[in-house]
């Protein structure tokens, strides 16, 4: 039996600048969510202490919504914001080593207008792609608790429902993979997660016609050790571009 859906997110609009709440209601709900007290406490604390290199930065320190092309055909799904990356900048994979590895590849293949992502106001645009994560707040040690992933599943479901043209989902790492499979199980697209095994380069055609691709996460841990290199990563997105039918 599919797990019981999480309670509606706890919202606190008073904590969020009015200009950041304008527009998409899904974005509004994500930014204002207060459901996971452990994560909210951690993110706020990181934003107050700040890393030495960012002492003059005002940290976002809130849940991070996805961003990209509303007509996207490729959904890129990560784990969670980095403590000094997206938790600082307010945009996925922006201002950290994972983004420094990923965006040059997306730019080379035509998915991103620039090869670097430094802030949410840097003018970078995505084409045919949307980037999100299964957890919207930075977790201690990059390890969200199972309940925190479940709590965030409602945000993922809403964001996916806003992207009707998606044809390919690229999961960056096993936690993103498992989170997306949990979403598919909950909405009845798949009967069991065990039929979909995570390995780098794994590819499945889902019962609803979407294609699911897997890659190791572009974390510094993986890229610095050679577990994931640029050629490996590029091949995944070349395949995603081919399936999505975009150039």
Contact 120, 87 (CB under 8 A): no
8 inside domain: no
Q: What pLDDT is attached to residue 107?
A: 98
32 inside domain: yes
CATH number at residue 54: 3.40.470.10
Locate all alpha helices (DSSP H) within the chain, ordered by sequence.
25-32, 37-49, 86-89, 97-108, 146-161, 174-186, 220-224, 230-244
Could you tell me the pTM of the whole model?
A: 0.90
Q: What is the dihedral of CA 122, 166, 185, 236, to 10 degrees?
A: -70
- Judge whether residue 208 has pLDDT over 60: yes
- Judge whether residue 12 has pLDDT over 60: no
2 inside domain: no
27 inside domain: yes
4 inside domain: no
6 inside domain: no
232 inside domain: yes
Higher local confidence (pLDDT), 70 or 11:
70
- Judge whether residue 13 has pLDDT over 60: no
Q: Domain of 37?
A: 13-244
Q: Measured on CA atoms in the order 41, 101, 215, 226, is the torsion positive or negative?
A: negative
- Judge whether residue 122 has pLDDT over 50: yes
Total of domains in the chain: 1
- Judge whether residue 85 has pLDDT over 90: yes
Q: Grade residue 23 by pLDDT with cuts at 50, 70 and 90.
A: low
1 inside domain: no
**pLDDT tens per residue, range 134-167:** 999 999 999 999 999 999 999 999 999 999 999 9
- Judge whether residue 18 has pLDDT over 50: no
Question: CA angle, 144 as apex, 140 and 191 as ends, to 5°?
Answer: 170
Residue among 209, 208, 227 at smallest CA distance from 217? 227
């Amino acid at each position: 039996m599919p797990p019981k859906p999480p309670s509606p997110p706890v919202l606190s609009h008073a904590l969020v600048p009015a200009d950041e709440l304008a527009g998409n209601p899904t974005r509004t709900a994500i930014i204002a969510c207060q459901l996971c007290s452990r994560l909210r406490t951690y993110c706020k604390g990181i934003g107050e202490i700040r890393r030495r290199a960012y002492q003059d930065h005002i940290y976002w320190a809130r849940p991070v919504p996805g961003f990209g092309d509303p007509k996207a055909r490729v959904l890129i799904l990560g784990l969670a914001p980095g403590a000094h990356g997206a938790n600082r900048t307010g945009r996925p994979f922006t201002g950290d080593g994972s983004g420094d590895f990923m965006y040059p590849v997306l730019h080379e293949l035509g998915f991103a207008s620039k090869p670097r992502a430094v802030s949410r106001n840097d003018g970078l645009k995505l084409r045919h792609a949307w980037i999100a994560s299964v957890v919207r707040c930075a977790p201690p040690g990059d390890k969200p608790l199972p309940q925190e992933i479940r709590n965030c599943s409602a945000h993922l479901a809403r964001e996916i429902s806003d992207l009707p043209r998606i044809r390919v989902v690229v999961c960056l790492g096993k936690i993103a993979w498992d989170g997306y499979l949990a979403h598919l199980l909950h909405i009845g697209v798949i009967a069991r997660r065990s039929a979909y095994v995570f390995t780098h380069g794994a590819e499945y055609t889902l019962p609803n016609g979407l294609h699911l691709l897997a890659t190791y996460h572009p974390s510094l841990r993986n890229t610095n050790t050679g577990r994931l290199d640029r050629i490996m990563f590029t091949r995944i997105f070349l395949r995603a571009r081919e399936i999505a039918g975009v150039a």
